[in-house]
Amino acid sequence: MKPTASWLKSIAKLAVCGALLAWIFQAIFWKEGQEAWEREKRVPAWHELTRWQRLEISWTHGPHQVWRVVSGVRSDALVASLALMGATILLGIVRWRLVLRVHGLDLPFGRAAEISLVAHFFNSFLLGTVGGDLLKAYYAARETNHKKAEAVGTVFVDRIIGLFSLLAFTMFAMAANLPLLHADPLFVKIAWLIVAMFAGCSGVLFIVLRGGVSKGLPRAREWLRRLPRGDFLERLRESFKPFGRDRVFLLKSCAVSLLLCGVCVAHVQSLAWGLGLDLPLRHLFTIVPMITCMVVFPLTPGGLGVRENLFVLMLAVPMIGVEHTAALSLSLLCAAGSMFWSLAGGAVYAGLKTRHHLGEIAHDNAAQD
């Protein structure tokens, strides 16, 4: 039953991804086809063509225009963007090792880098709900041969601190650029959604760092133990408490996370420069984290389709005025940078799965998904 449900979820995510991509590509290609037809003063007039004729023209001119913009990116900017994308993964490794050390799980940097790259590969390509996160948890547990609940807890804490820091960064960026938020109703809607996400994430983080709500609900622990694998869940709950008591860890991990957010903005800015787009840094400082917050929702694999639509819609507002084709190209190049490091993770997985039991762990991951 579980494999069937997993496949249905994967198919649903692929369908959403395909629909979003088809919608944004069609909208942009239609515009490019119409402009090309009218620029060349061809007859009959655009409005006199049948819908199928316009579709054919759109998909003839549109892809060529997108490819022309994408392929025109400066090579130095592209290399810089790949390096900055790699830096985000590096900072993620640093943060995860900080989390591991709270429980005395001192995973060597090389091993942490290997498993993080492999996890990035699985998170980008697999459509299940578990992906690379459980891979990281299993790997940490295998390395220590004990503290499995604590290892799973480190991955969750790493995620929740990263998400909280991203939302806090975005809240500050939005507050610093209020005129942009009022430039279009879409910005206002996304801003309010992010405010709600920040409130919810803050509440979850507070509960996690307190080790649950058993003090306010005396019978909560008893109910927890009655659940399937209740003993494991109880250990998992207990594993959260040391994080809340270690204020130095919280400061360090949040600082690394905020730096990671800044590098993400620099990654997009480098590609914008490479494409010759006149995009003020203050606008990207707000737009990039807002889009990243929206991509957090697991609607499509790697946020593909969601990210492209948001880039096009948010960069096209009159205050910014980026052409749709250029905005789509910028988004595709951002996705390509993530894909590059995913392929690097796939190469690591292929070369090291036997030596470090990654094949067995991935098999367990797929079985639980």
Give the domain ranges of the chain.
1-69, 79-368
CA 261 vs CA 84, 160, 222, 320: distances in Å = 11, 14, 40, 22
List Cβ neighbours of 131 (8 Å cut-off, separation of 6 or more). Answer: 119, 122, 123, 365, 369
**pLDDT at residue number 1:** 43
User: What is the C-alpha to C-alpha distance for residues 237 and 18, in angstroms, rounded to an integer?
Assistant: 39
**pLDDT at residue number 251:** 94
Is the pTM higher than 0.85? The answer reads no
**C-alpha dihedral (72, 75, 80, 81), degrees to nearest 10:** 30
User: What is the C-alpha to C-alpha distance for residues 211 and 243, in angstroms, rounded to an integer?
Assistant: 9
CA 121 vs CA 109, 138, 264: distances in Å = 18, 16, 18
In tens digits, the chain (369 residues) has pLDDT values of 455 666 676 677 677 777 777 777 777 787 878 877 878 778 788 888 888 888 888 888 888 888 988 989 999 999 999 999 999 999 999 999 999 888 887 888 888 898 888 888 877 765 444 456 777 777 777 766 566 677 778 888 898 999 999 999 999 999 999 999 988 899 999 999 999 999 999 998 988 887 655 554 555 555 555 555 556 666 777 778 888 888 899 999 999 999 999 999 999 999 999 999 988 889 999 999 999 999 888 777 667 788 888 999 999 888 898 998 999 999 999 989 988 998 888 888 887 665 555 445 444 444 444
User: What is the C-alpha to C-alpha distance for residues 358 and 122, in angstroms, rounded to an integer?
Assistant: 12
